[in-house]
Amino acid sequence: MKLAPFIAKRYLFAKKSHNVINIISAISAIGMAIGTAALIIIMSVYNGFDSLIKSMMSNVEPDLMITPDTGKVFVPEGETYDWIYDQPSVKNMCGVLQEQVFINYDGQQGLAKAKGVDWIYEDETPLKDHIRDGEFKLHRGDVPLASVGAGLAYGMGINPRFVSPIEIYFPSRTRRLSMANPISSIESIKVWPSSIFSVNNEVDAELIILPIEKMRELLEYDDEVSAVEIRLAEGTDGKELKRLQKEISTMLGPDFKVKDRFQQNESLYKMMRYEKAAIYMILIFIIIIIAFNIFGSLSMLIIEKRGDIETLRSLGAQDRLIRRIFVLEGWMISLTGLAAGLVVGTGFALFQQHFGFIKMPGQFIVQAYPVILSWTDILLTVIGVAAIGYIIALLPVASFYRKER
């Protein structure tokens, strides 16, 4: 039998002469349980929203994107693109031509990001699952159509049921500006709205998707694209993605950049990581504050057990053993709260993840709060709370022995 844990356990559950010690210990354990459960639940909810945002972004961002290192456009030709197309893990590859443009719709004017796409994108885009109004089509016979982000559409009154066209303008690349007739130096095209999509506020507020041949007409290009988008087959793992990215980058050389989804929107994903780290640190700080109750209860217990300490010394117990007894008792309070919090937090998160019993208010993309329980988060919670509890338990014991000297 290990003496220190045995005595610490007896002290923890034994009746004290001052009932307030039991009350403070119980409050401390409950507080640690609540803090632990809150940490797991909040991190799981954050994981759910994080996954939801990434899922929505995947509808407009490809798995890999090839862009020129210098300049805006290039012609995608050569053996590299044939090799990419032949890879089993590649679902499709399409060229896009994107530019900031000026648009006009029934007298309403504004700026937009116009994205010209080819027939592959039109047939296989996952954006079809996010259509709010109309039908995702970019051609109706010879008539060019466009799909418009919800924020841009509602802001300008664009309606796929109306017959009014969207007029798109861009300065001519080949003609000089004429002060006598400025309009002659502006290229323009017309497309008709076929649908309105909604992915997220940032994309919805500026994006309009149209046929690439109309974008080339507007920008006065022949076969050029601003990027080649590569989407991988469902179930392709990160290792295969990295392999493709590395090989394509090697084959194309330094004149091109091959970006994965994180690199395409690096600032957003970094911000999401920093936010999660900040949430974790804030909740850990709250748990530290709660844990100081243990400092108070353990200090009072040490004072109450002075007689027991002297008895143990007279029986030959070393100070190292006595210190371990009280540190373990304080730590047991934290571990009791940690265990209870783990059960409650993990159970709640798993229940919400599988059954979604707490619903989102109002109209939202998902009906229930998205929750994803991560075992990494559970491990970090256990390590963080257990370390805090141990350090807090050390403080009153160290303080007592310093005073004795």
* pLDDT by 10s per residue, the chain, length 405: 465 566 656 656 555 555 666 777 778 888 889 999 999 999 999 898 888 877 777 777 888 999 999 889 999 988 899 999 899 999 999 999 999 999 999 989 999 999 999 988 888 888 888 888 999 999 998 899 999 999 999 999 998 887 889 999 998 877 666 665 566 678 899 999 999 998 888 888 999 999 999 999 999 999 999 999 999 988 888 899 999 999 999 999 999 999 988 888 888 788 888 888 898 898 889 888 888 887 777 777 666 666 666 666 676 667 677 677 777 777 888 888 999 999 999 999 999 888 888 887 766 667 788 889 999 999 999 999 999 988 888 887 776 556 555
Q: How many domains are contained in the chain? A: 2
The answer to whether residues 39 and 185 belong to one domain is: no
Looking at the structure, tell me whether residues 294 and 312 fall in a common domain: yes
Q: 104 and 86, same structural domain?
A: yes
Reported pTM: 0.70
Give the pLDDT confidence of 327-373 residue by residue, as tens digits: 777 788 888 899 999 999 999 999 988 888 888 776 666 778 888 99
* Pair 359, 300 in one domain: yes
Which residues have CB under 8 Å from 386's CB, separation 6+?
Answer: 331, 334, 335, 338
Phi, psi of 249 (to 5 degrees): -60, -40
Residues 31 and 104 in one domain: no
What is the DSSP code string of 239-304? HHHHHHHHHHHHHH-TTEEEEEHHHHTHHHHHHHHHHHHHHHHHHHHHHHHHHHHHHHHHHHHHHH
Q: What is the CB neighbour count within 10 angstroms for residue 318?
A: 10
18 with 74, same domain: the answer is no
Question: Mind listing the pLDDT tens digit for each residue in 255-267?
Answer: 999 998 888 888 8
| Per-residue model confidence (pLDDT) at position 113 | 95
Q: Looking at the structure, tell me whether residues 109 and 251 fall in a common domain.
A: yes
| pLDDT recorded at residue 392 | 85
Q: What whole-number distance in Å separates Cα of residue 251 and Cα of residue 151?
A: 40
Q: Distance between CA 117 and CA 82 in Å, rounded?
A: 19
Q: d(Cα 343, Cα 337) in Å, to the nearest integer?
A: 10
At residue 178, the pLDDT reads 60
Residues 317 and 347 in one domain: yes
Show which of 261, 287, 314 is a domain's final residue. Answer: 261
Could you give the angle at which helices 19-57 and 375-404 cross, rounded to 10 degrees? 150
Are 305 and 170 in a shared domain?
no
Domain endpoint, select from 220, 237, 261 = 261
3-state secondary structure labels for all residues of 166-201: EEEEEECCCCCCCCCCHHHHEEEEEEEEEEEECCCH
Decide which of 261, 291, 311 is a domain's last residue. Answer: 261
Range of the domain at 111: 65-261
Residues 197 and 310 in one domain: no
One domain for residues 164 and 75: yes
Residues 52 and 110 occupy one common structural domain: no
pLDDT value at position 66? 94
